[in-house]
């Protein structure tokens, strides 16, 4: 256990939290591992045990945000109060849109870190994309089984992701950040459902 009294895992989490605080206060470019170490009262070397460099630290910040989105989407998949399978798909996309929009709008420095990670296709980003595809495929298959859609689930998933990309692809969300677009998203999905029935 380090001198801080924290376990290695607790120290790692505190480093991520402190990084987020510094990013919000000073900006993405001004975060340095030496400053984080000083803030937490540990040596610079103690941080290198968890993060090879600043890029790895930003990846950890981005991964935390992605994991939060994954939890929100999983909650939609598991929500027993949603009985209609099409409503569940719509809710899933709205939650995804809100999560991306809120981060872009209210946490721009965290978004910048994520955008760098996403562009170079990190492993945690690929896991997130795979989970989204798995979840949406399951939701679409349920709608097909309920007689609300016709077609092959994987094809429908591609159609849905393509038709809604500007509502969840971060840089495209940023381009329309001043607009309230949830209703439009719902209208687009409703139109697709009608075409697939």
Report the pLDDT value the prediction gives residue 117, as an integer from 0 to 100: 63
What pTM was computed for the model?
0.86
User: Mind listing the pLDDT tens digit for each residue in 175-194?
Assistant: 998 899 999 999 999 999 99
Report the pLDDT value the prediction gives residue 69, as an integer from 0 to 100: 94
Place of tokens 């949830």: 182
**Domains annotated on the chain, with CATH:** 1-51 (1.10.10), 55-196 (1.10.357.10)
What DSSP line would sit under 122-185, residue for residue?
Answer: -HHHHHHHHHHHHHHHHHHHHHHHTTS--S-HHHHHHHHHHHTGGGTSHHHHHHTTTS--HHHH
Gap between the Cα atoms of 195 and 13, Å rounded: 47
- Contacts for 89 with CB less than 8 Å, ≥ 6 apart: 136, 139, 140, 143, 160, 189
Report the pLDDT value the prediction gives residue 91, as an integer from 0 to 100: 98
């Amino acid at each position: 256990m380090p001198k801080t009294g924290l376990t290695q895992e607790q120290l790692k989490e505190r480093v991520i939290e402190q990084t987020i605080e510094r990013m919000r206060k000073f900006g993405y470019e001004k975060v340095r591992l030496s400053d984080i170490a000083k803030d937490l009262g540990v040596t610079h070397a103690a941080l290198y045990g968890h993060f090879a460099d600043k890029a790895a630290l930003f990846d950890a910040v981005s991964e935390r945000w992605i994991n939060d989105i994954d939890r929100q989407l999983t909650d939609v998949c598991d929500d027993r109060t949603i009985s209609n399978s099409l409503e569940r798909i719509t809710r899933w996309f709205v939650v995804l849109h809100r999560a991306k929009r809120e981060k872009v709008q209210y946490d721009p420095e965290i978004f910048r870190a994520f955008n760098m990670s996403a562009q170079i296709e990190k492993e945690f980003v690929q896991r997130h994309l795979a989970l989204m595809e798995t979840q949406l495929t399951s939701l679409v298959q349920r709608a097909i089984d309920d007689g609300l859609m016709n077609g092959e689930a994987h094809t429908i998933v591609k159609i849905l992701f393509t038709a809604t990309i500007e509502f969840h692809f971060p840089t495209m969300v940023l381009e329309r950040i001043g607009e309230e677009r949830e209703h439009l998203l719902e209208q687009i999905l409703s139109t697709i459902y009608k075409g697939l029935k």
